[in-house]
């Protein structure tokens, strides 16, 4: 029996479904039942009929799925696959900002720990942050943990006063404006598609800025034949599947997330077979982190 057949059999036996983010290894994306950006995966996790969710992604994704579906078993193929940015904000700073500004909303990028979510008013993803921030009644927005996404959204919602935090995604921060400029010089016909976790000077080169799903949809619907991609290179798998006649260039060679790449087919098989990697979230965290996640799903509709 092949590894893939073993996983298919175990899925039936354990009544499980596999969710995968676009940044995990190609062979894991290939066996997933649902694949998407962070917003799609959070939405799709709600209302699945299977008892068990295997989350091929990083810890904050598994945690969010568990918080939204407390009655389900959520398994992470690699429990050490964690997003460093998810930890890059301080509860003390949130409390300080709340004392300093009386009309403030703490807007928490979903790439965050359950603990940070607990202290926030609403969650967002790169796909819905603009819409949600615009719809909030508050004048002041404390955007955590990602400074780059916060600064990008601030340019789109000038009527709000933003307070930034200094978290970042090391994968996207490693892409420099010079890299994108050189890629554009080498491929002048190509459209430049950039994730908003990149810095503002990089975003200046973009023909399109959006989430991983947004980037894939844009390239798929574009009449152009060549694209420069500035996000984690796992997206190339779906881009090529959906657009076999188009050419994709990486803006640089550094766009690999080591944590997403920890998820392998063997680990998916092992967690299903052995019931390992169970995501545990305390009752208090489940209750308090659910509110900003539910508010996101409501406001993003």
Which two tokens mark 2? 């092949």
Select the span of 27-35, 82-90, 185-193, 221-229 touching ligand SF4 (CB under 6 A). 82-90
Degrees to nearest 5, angle at CA 170 with 29 and 280: 60
Out of 10, 19, 257, 290, the only residue in the binding site for ligand SF4 (CB under 6 A) is 257
Degrees to nearest 5, angle at CA 87 with 41 and 127: 35
140 binds, among ligand 13P, ligand SF4, none (CB under 5 to 8 A by kind): none
CA dist 243 and 6 (Å) reads 30
The reply to whether 125 sits near ligand 13P by the rule CB under 6 A is yes
38 binds, among ligand 13P, ligand SF4, none (CB under 5 to 8 A by kind): ligand 13P
CA dist 32 and 89 (Å) reads 32
259 binds, among ligand SF4, ligand 13P, none (CB under 5 to 8 A by kind): ligand SF4
Task: Give the nearer residue to ligand SF4 in terms of CB position, either 10 or 61.
Answer: 61
- x/- map, 81-120, ligand 13P, by CB under 6 A: --x---------------------------x---------
Beta-bridge mates of residue 108: 123, 144
Q: Which of residues 108-147 bind ligand SF4 (CB under 6 A)?
A: 111
- x/- map, 213-252, ligand SF4, by CB under 6 A: -------------------x--------------------
Rg, Å, the chain Cα set: 19
Which two tokens mark 26? 């190609």
78 binds, among ligand 13P, ligand SF4, none (CB under 5 to 8 A by kind): none
The reply to whether 128 sits near ligand 13P by the rule CB under 6 A is no
Helices of type H across 51-146: 59-68, 91-100, 114-118, 129-135
Which two tokens mark 265? 């087919």
CA dist 141 and 133 (Å) reads 8
CA dist 198 and 180 (Å) reads 11
Select the span of 47-55, 79-87, 91-99, 235-243 touching ligand SF4 (CB under 6 A). 79-87
Q: What φ, ψ does residue 252 adopt, rounded to 5°?
A: -160, -175
Cis amide linkage into residue 145, ω under 30° from 0? yes
Query: To the nearest whole angstrom, how small is the minimum distance from the Cβ of residue 169 to ligand SF4?
Result: 3
C-beta separation of 211 from 199 below 8 A: no
C-alpha neighbours within 13 Å on the C-beta side of residue 13: 11
* Residues in binding contact with ligand SF4, number by CB under 6 A: 13
Select the span of 148-156, 219-227, 245-253, 257-265 touching ligand SF4 (CB under 6 A). 257-265
Out of 31, 169, 198, 281, the only residue in the binding site for ligand SF4 (CB under 6 A) is 169
The reply to whether 28 sits near ligand SF4 by the rule CB under 6 A is no
Task: Give the nearer residue to ligand SF4 in terms of CB position, either 109 or 227.
Answer: 109
CA 273 to chain centre: 27
C-beta separation of 292 from 63 below 8 A: no
Q: Which residues bind ligand SF4 (CB under 6 A)?
A: 23, 58, 83-85, 111, 169-171, 232, 257, 259-260
Q: Which residues bind ligand 13P (CB under 6 A)?
A: 37-39, 83, 111, 125-127, 169, 195, 197, 211-212
């Amino acid at each position: 029996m092949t590894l893939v057949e073993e996983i298919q059999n175990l899925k039936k036996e354990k009544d499980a479904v596999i969710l995968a983010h676009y940044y995990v290894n190609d062979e894991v994306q290939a066996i997933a039942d649902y694949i998407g950006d962070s917003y799609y995966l959070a939405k799709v996790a709600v209302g699945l009929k299977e008892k068990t969710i295997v989350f091929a992604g990083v810890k904050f994704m598994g945690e969010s799925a568990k918080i939204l579906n407390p009655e389900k078993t959520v398994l992470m193929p690699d429990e050490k696959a964690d997003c460093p940015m998810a930890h890059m904000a301080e509860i003390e700073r949130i409390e300080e900002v709340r004392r300093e500004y009386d009309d403030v909303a703490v807007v928490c990028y979903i790439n965050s720990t359950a603990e940070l979510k607990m202290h926030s008013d609403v969650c967002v993803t790169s796909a819905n942050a603009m819409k949600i921030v615009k719809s909030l009644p508050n004048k002041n927005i404390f955007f955590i943990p990602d400074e780059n996404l916060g600064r990008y959204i601030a340019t789109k919602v000038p009527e709000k006063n933003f307070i930034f935090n200094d978290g970042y995604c090391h994968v996207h921060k490693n892409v420099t404006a010079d890299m994108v400029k050189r890629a554009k010089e080498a491929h002048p016909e190509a459209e430049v598609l950039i994730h908003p976790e990149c810095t503002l000077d990089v975003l200046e080169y973009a023909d399109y800025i959006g989430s991983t799903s947004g980037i894939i949809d844009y390239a798929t619907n574009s009449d152009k034949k060549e694209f420069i991609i500035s996000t984690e290179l796992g997206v190339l798998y779906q881009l090529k599947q959906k657009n076999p006649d188009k050419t994709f260039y990486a803006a640089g060679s550094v766009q690999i997330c080591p944590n997403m790449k920890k998820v392998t087919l063997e680990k998916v098989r092992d967690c299903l077979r052995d019931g390992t990697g169970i995501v545990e979230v305390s009752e208090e965290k489940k209750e308090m982190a659910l509110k900003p996640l539910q508010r996101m799903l409501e406001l993003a509709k």
